[in-house]
Amino acid sequence: MFHSSFPPFLTIALTGTPGTGKTQVAKLLEAEGYQVLHLTEFICSCKIPVERDDERDCNIVDMDSLEESFFEYQKEKRHDFENKIQNMSLSDDEFIQHTKQPKNLPVLLVESHLAHCLCDLAVVLRSHPAVLKERLDGRGYSEKKVQENVLSEAIDIILCDCFDYCRRVYEIDNSSQKISDTVSCVKELIHALYEDEFLKFRSFVSQMNEKNKCKCKSKKQNISDSNPAQPVVSSGFAAKSRQDVKNISGQDLEDIPLAELAGTISVIEEEGVVVYEGDYDDALDETHPVLMKYIPGKNDWSGLVD
Ligand SMILES: Nc1ncnc2c1ncn2[C@@H]1O[C@H](COP(=O)(O)OP(=O)(O)OP(=O)(O)O)[C@@H](O)[C@H]1O
């Protein structure tokens, strides 16, 4: 299924070793109006198959089944968002301003130590092993379970996993922070990240428009020069469908597949994940995942674009 969607809707993993604070932080963000998915609750409500591992005192989730349900959910959320903004006519600056309100931020924050397997952006909460041990001891876990988690935190298991799944990875060390500080950090980070992805996407869309002007012209030779084909995505974020293209260009482009209309670049929903395909001059390509230690107010976001 082809799906040109602009502005972007992001899913960001809030991940980390058990005890690093994902649930508490996510709940506080949710109370402020951010969109949060608690994956453990989702697994129960969707009846995702889970096997019990008694020896390790944990549950093993059927990841294929989880992915399928999650991608459906993600798709619904994205469509809700698209419906909401469909009739808004905002400039880029006005749109960014609009997203400053937590409920308007087009981000779904997915909270779980498995979340990074489902998202391509990740915020990893980190805690010093000694701090983590204290928190987990307080939960009444067995010594073996506490040790396993503390060791996993000490050797960066989740962080390393994030590099396998995500294109951008951010760490927040909350060992000596108050929980309210961690919440502020995550907020600052996800807004900045959204803005950065938006601008990146905007430049990608401009490139796409340039290419589409040529592509549409050569495809529809019967379109007269006095009424040339218009860009698929106009300034602002008007065109999301073939009908939109028709409205903008006044041309009936019904016989051109949307994938081709989108020109040499297609934004494809593939198993729920948005992927960017085609000859787009590496506009959205990042060859290596980016890891940043997040320092509130100190990060230079311009460095993230290249
Ligand atoms: N700066 C902080 N950030 C986050 N949590 C903190 C912080 N300081 C103390 N905590 C406490 O650490 C505990 C973390 O527990 P929480 O259930 O949120 O972790 P979790 O990562 O969601 O674990 P699990 O994966 O087992 O659900 C909470 O009791 C929280 O109040």
Each of the 306 residues of the chain gets a pLDDT tens digit; together they read: 233 457 889 999 999 999 999 999 999 999 999 999 999 999 999 999 999 988 888 889 999 999 999 999 999 998 898 888 877 888 888 999 999 999 999 999 999 999 999 998 999 999 999 999 999 999 989 999 999 999 999 999 999 999 889 888 888 989 988 999 999 989 999 998 899 888 887 777 777 667 666 655 555 544 444 443 333 333 333 333 444 444 444 444 444 343 343 333 344 444 433 333 444 444 444 444 555 555 555 554 444 433
Pocket test for ligand 1, best of 15, 24, 25 (most atoms within 8 A of CB): 24
Rg from Cα positions in the chain: 22
Are 299 and 168 in contact by the 8 Å Cβ rule? The answer is: no
Please report the atom of ligand 1 found closest to the CA of residue 111: 22
Prediction pTM value: 0.76
As annotated, the binding site for ATP includes 19, 21-23, 139
Question: Which two tokens mark 245?
Answer: 């293209």
> Ligand 1: residues whose CB is within 6 Å?
16, 18-25, 113, 135, 174, 177-179, 182
Measure 81 CA to ligand 1 centroid, in angstroms: 30
Residue of the nearest CA to atom 1 in ligand 1? 179
Distances (CA, A) of 141 to 40, 52, 108, 145, 227: 18, 16, 31, 6, 71
Which of 14, 15, 17, 23 maximizes ligand 1 atoms within 8 Å of its Cβ, making it the mutation to test the pocket? 23
Q: Which of 223, 228, 297 is nearest to 255 (CA)?
A: 223
Which protein residue's CA is at the shortest distance from atom 3 of ligand 1? 179
Q: What is the pLDDT of residue 83?
A: 87
Amino acid at 295: I
User: Cα torsion at 31, 83, 263, 11 (round to 10°)?
Assistant: 20
User: Is residue 107 within a helix (H) or strand (E), and if so which, with residue range?
Assistant: strand 107-111
> How far, in Å, is the centroid of ligand 1 from the Cα of 236?
41
Asked if 172 contacts 182 with a C-beta cutoff of 8 angstroms, the reply is: yes
Atom of ligand 1 nearest to the CA of 181: 1
What torsion, rounded to 10 degrees, do the Cα atoms 92, 94, 98, 100 define? 80
- Give residue 23 CA to ligand 1 midpoint distance, Å: 6
Which pair of structure tokens corresponds to residue 204? 């990608």
Q: What is the CATH number of the domain that holds 162?
A: 3.40.50.300
Q: How far is the CA of 105 from the centre of ligand 1 (A)?
A: 24
> How high is the pLDDT of residue 229?
39
Q: Which domain holds residue 93?
A: 1-306
Distance between Cα 19 and ligand 1 center (Å):
5
How far, in Å, is the centroid of ligand 1 from the Cα of 21?
3
Task: Please tell me the total count of domains within the chain.
Answer: 1
Minimal-distance CA residue to ligand 1 atom 13: 21
Helices and strands counted in the chain (H then E): 10, 10
Distance (angstroms) between ligand 1 centre and the Cα of 20 equals 5
Question: Ligand 1, from 14, 17, 20, 171: best to mutate by most atoms within 8 Å of Cβ?
Answer: 20
